[in-house]
Amino acid sequence: MAENTEDTPDFPLPPASFMFLVESILMQTQMHLGLMHFGEQDEKSEPNLILARHSIDLLGVLQEKTKGNLTAEEQRLIENGLTELRFRYVQVSDEVKKRSAPADSTEKKDDRPLIITADGGKGTKTE
């Protein structure tokens, strides 16, 4: 590949490797989960659970397709990374559900089936 000096970054790029690929996807997923953000402290973005789940699934495919071809360090990185991301995904999705629940959900709704009786529900026996 011919290098174009206009496209050369001002910072050194790390070498392309399996470890860098996995770490890139891990970081991207953390950003989708809202665990990492850049900018002001008050500018925390909302989690994007769909993209986070997709990235986790991609790592799972990568793990499956490379099984038996990784060094111990590479295997440990992908296994530990997936375990951590799956745990964080559950935590974040639970937090999102809690935030979206109605504020007056402290009263427990009676969702038992209604039984209509011949006496109109008064509880008197009719024989």
DSSP H helices in the chain: 18-32, 49-65, 72-100
Tens of pLDDT, residue by residue over 8-53, are 778 888 899 999 999 999 999 999 999 887 766 666 778 999 999 9
Q: Which residue range forms the structural domain that includes residue 60?
A: 16-100
Inter-residue contact 82 to 56 (CB < 8 Å):
yes
Once rounded to an integer, what is the mean pLDDT over residues 93-105?
80
Q: Is residue 6 part of a domain?
A: no
Indicate whether 116 belongs to any domain: no
| 32 within a domain of the structure (yes/no) | yes
Token pair of 97 as six digits: 């559900």
Output the CA torsion sign for 106, 112, 114, 115: negative
CA distance 110 to 99: 22
Count of domains observed in the chain: 1
Close Cβ partners of 117 (under 8 Å, ≥ 6 residues apart): 123
Percent of the chain with pLDDT over 70: 70
Q: Is residue 114 part of a domain?
A: no
Residue 27 lies in a domain: yes
Smallest CA-to-CA distance from 28 within 51, 61, 60, 62 is with 51
pLDDT band, residue 55 (cuts 50/70/90): very high
Instruction: Read off the pLDDT of residues 105-120 as tens digits, 9 standing for 90 and up.
Output: 555 666 776 666 666 6
Q: Are 90 and 82 in contact (CB under 8 A)?
A: no
Share of the chain above pLDDT 90, in %: 54
